[in-house]
């Protein structure tokens, strides 16, 4: 449920009290070749190739009140997008009454599960840090038995912490965020993804007040294996690492500051996951601030 690469520059910075809107457009193209088996939608498939084009619209309300010396914020994320998937073979699919499929293809454009968020952030000189909680609410358009899905059809929670060291004089931003995702069981597939660890980092240099470039990366690894009656491949622990670059540009429209950033990642060191290229285009702006 946690979108790898979603946090990067300024990850530890919680903005001043106000209401903020952010839109992330996520692009992913990946595959899993070599006849390796892969669980998807209650099936076991191989030679998988998938693409995702997902828009995530989020709103965050930072309250003026302090809790434990920091500001608290609440928000929500609504995903909507398109997914395409192909697979060479569906191996042993008794739920569907036949033993194998060939040349499987599936595509869909749907709403995913909404995510509720809550965070608490602090500031001390050049240091900014926060903790973030996320809850996946399984009410999206899940398609049982299909290869392409955006919704997860399971409860899931994520807890993470982020730290940013920002030196305005040097124009240097060093940020890191790490956390764990805890997954419930999908009642349609009887599959429970294990507990997942994720860490992201970013080194960003501002070349001017409005323009910045940097290096970004992430690492994901399951710390416990998959389970449930539907886990026919066993614990199936996943792992992936990615590195890439980012470009940011800030500007104003009718006096409103708008922040934009492009991040591109190339994955490697994969185990029991697809390997691919991911891109995130982010646009963020305050609706109200300083209230």
**Confidence (pTM):** 0.91
Two tokens, residue 206: 């501002």
Say if CB 79 and CB 55 are below 8 A apart.
Answer: yes
CA-wise closest residue to 122 among 133, 113, 131, 114:
131
Query: Please, what are the domains in the chain?
Result: 18-289 (2.40.160.40)
pLDDT at 35 over 80: no
pLDDT at 99 over 90: no
Cα 5 to Cα 219: distance, rounded to the nearest angstrom:
9
The mean per-residue pLDDT over the stretch 136-160 comes to: 94
In tens, the pLDDT along 230-272 reads 888 999 999 999 999 999 999 998 888 999 999 999 999 999 9
Instruction: Quote the pLDDT of residue 98.
Output: 47
Instruction: Quote the pLDDT of residue 187.
Output: 94
Instruction: Quote the pLDDT of residue 102.
Output: 58
Instruction: Quote the pLDDT of residue 90.
Output: 60
Two tokens, residue 237: 């622990």
Cα 58 to Cα 56: distance, rounded to the nearest angstrom:
6
Query: What's the chain's average pLDDT?
Result: 92
């Amino acid at each position: 449920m946690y979108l790898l690469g979603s946090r990067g520059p300024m990850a530890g910075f919680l903005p001043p009290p106000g209401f903020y809107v952010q839109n992330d457009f996520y692009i992913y193209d990946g595959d899993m070749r070599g006849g390796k088996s892969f669980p998807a939608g209650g099936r076991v498939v191989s030679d998988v190739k998938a693409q995702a084009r997902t828009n995530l619209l989020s709103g965050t309300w930072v309250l003026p009140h302090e809790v434990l010396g920091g500001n608290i914020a609440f928000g929500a994320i609504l995903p909507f997008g398109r997914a395409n998937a192909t697979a060479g073979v569906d191996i042993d699919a008794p739920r569907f009454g036949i033993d194998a499929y060939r040349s499987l293809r599936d595509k869909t454009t749907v709403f995913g599960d909404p995510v509720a968020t809550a965070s608490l952030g602090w500031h001390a000189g050049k240091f900014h840090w926060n903790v973030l909680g996320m809850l996946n609410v399984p009410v999206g358009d899940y398609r049982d038995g299909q290869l392409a899905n955006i919704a997860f059809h399971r409860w899931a929670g994520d807890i993470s912490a982020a730290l940013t060291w920002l030196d305005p004089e040097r124009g240097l931003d060093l940020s890191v965020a790490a956390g764990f995702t805890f997954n419930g069981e999908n009642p349609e597939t009887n599959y429970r993804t294990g507990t997942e660890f994720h860490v992201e980092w970013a080194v960003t240099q501002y070349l001017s007040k409005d323009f910045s470039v940097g290096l970004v990366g992430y690492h994901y690894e399951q710390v416990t294996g998959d389970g449930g009656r539907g886990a026919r491949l066993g614990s199936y622990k996943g792992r992936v690492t990615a590195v890439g670059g980012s470009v940011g540009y800030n500007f104003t429209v009718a006096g409103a500051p708008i922040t934009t950033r492009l991040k591109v990642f190339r994955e490697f060191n994969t185990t029991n996951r697809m390997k691919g290229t991911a891109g995130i285009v982010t646009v963020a702006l305050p609706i109200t601030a300083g209230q």
